[in-house]
Chains A and B, each alone.
Chain A
């Protein structure tokens, strides 16, 4: 019993690593710095993409990748069948409005958000557009969709710097992304976002 009691008394916490490999995730509007992450009360984020959309498998991959970046369920998302109940709507169409863009070799992605800079709110649903700029049967379009969808999902979860400042070609959040995955810098930045205050609040659709 004595060894057990000694072990029980020697309770120690796990050594947590510092988040030192991050880049800028904030949006700058004039003199205002904007940050956003989904509150836990809104998880899982509801994402809609058409059943027959060529993007659907890449949306699932993007969700899996970003969820896997977190150890405590800070970001979780699920596909929903009804776009009227979605927080995020993904379309394989050209963008109908300006947004945060990513331009890979064969396809383009944009996230269109409606911000109210007075109320500091972002109106739901967010719209994500990913579309081919070449024929969608050319070799490499699958990889382009995969890279670009993961990039746009990074914006959706809260990496909202429109200039992609600090991201490098080794990161999926680079402006012209080529990395098909999530780098350690992407991961640490996303974790940092969710353990920092959010200045924007998501409204509507709930």
Chain B
């Protein structure tokens, strides 16, 4: 009986404030490889992106925990000494866990990390061995504006960074990693469950 009461007390506010978020926007990345010897840069084109997230309260404070998945897909642009070209596209799937807290008014900060999966449409170039996973950290701000009692408009701005490499790069003697930075701007809806 005591356990059931405790569960109800805990579940009540959780159920009341748990939200889901659906967003769409664009992601822009720096070069996945900036090859100083071959004078070649490999960079995903700016890509449309969609994301889904669930946001949970962490307790009595104003902080929230957000679990988010994002999908973006872009062709790979090559430029440098061998000319310019557009290679097969690569899907970039991110799975993130973020902490979120207040800044001021409708603006909240976000900070977290997770994994980014690069899934190429063709086994080609640096992705000739197929999919690769990298760890990433991310941070940003989100602005919200209530639309109704259950719905909120959200605008997210995010910066993230990772150390990029693939097994093909390592096999061919690229022993270090390329620092990659990405910027994401998303607009969407948050709905209370």
Give the residue of A1, A5, A39, A73 whose beta carbon is less than 8 angstroms from that of B124: A73
Tell me if A31 counts as interface (CB < 8 A to partner B).
no
Closest to A41 in B: B83
Tell me if A134 counts as interface (CB < 8 A to partner B).
no
Bound complex: CA A15 to CA B179 (Å): 11
B178–A194 contact, CB under 8 A? no
CB distance from B164 to the nearest CB of A (A): 8
Tell me if B187 counts as interface (CB < 8 A to partner A).
no
CB distance from B113 to the nearest CB of A (A): 9
Closest to B85 in A: A40
Q: A residues 1-17 with Cβ under 8 Å of B?
A: 1, 3-5, 7-8, 10-17
Interface residues on B, range: 35 or more
Which residues of chain B are within 8 angstroms of A12 by Cβ–Cβ distance? 176, 178-179
Bound complex: CA A68 to CA B130 (Å): 12
Majority SS at the chain A contact face: loop
A195–B82 contact, CB under 8 A? yes
B85–A18 contact, CB under 8 A? no
Q: B residues 154-170 with Cβ under 8 Å of A?
A: 159, 161, 164-165, 168-169
B137–A72 contact, CB under 8 A? no
Tell me if B181 counts as interface (CB < 8 A to partner A).
yes
Fill in one digit per residue for B101-126: 1 if any A CB lies within 8 Å of its CB, else 0: 00000000101000000000000111
Fill in one digit per residue for B61-88: 1 if any A CB lies within 8 Å of its CB, else 0: 0000000000000000010111111010
5 of the cross-chain contacts (CB-CB < 8 Å) are A4-B111, A11-B181, A72-B42, A73-B78, A195-B39
A residues apposed to B, CB below 8 Å:
1, 3-5, 7-8, 10-19, 39-41, 43, 67-68, 70-74, 76, 187, 191, 194-195
B residues apposed to A, CB below 8 Å:
30, 33-40, 42, 78, 80-85, 87, 109, 111, 124-126, 128, 137-139, 159, 161, 164-165, 168-169, 172-179, 181
In the complex, the 8 A-B pairs of residues with the closest C-beta atoms, listed nearest first: A17-B173, A16-B37, A14-B178, A40-B83, A15-B176, A4-B139, A40-B85, A13-B34
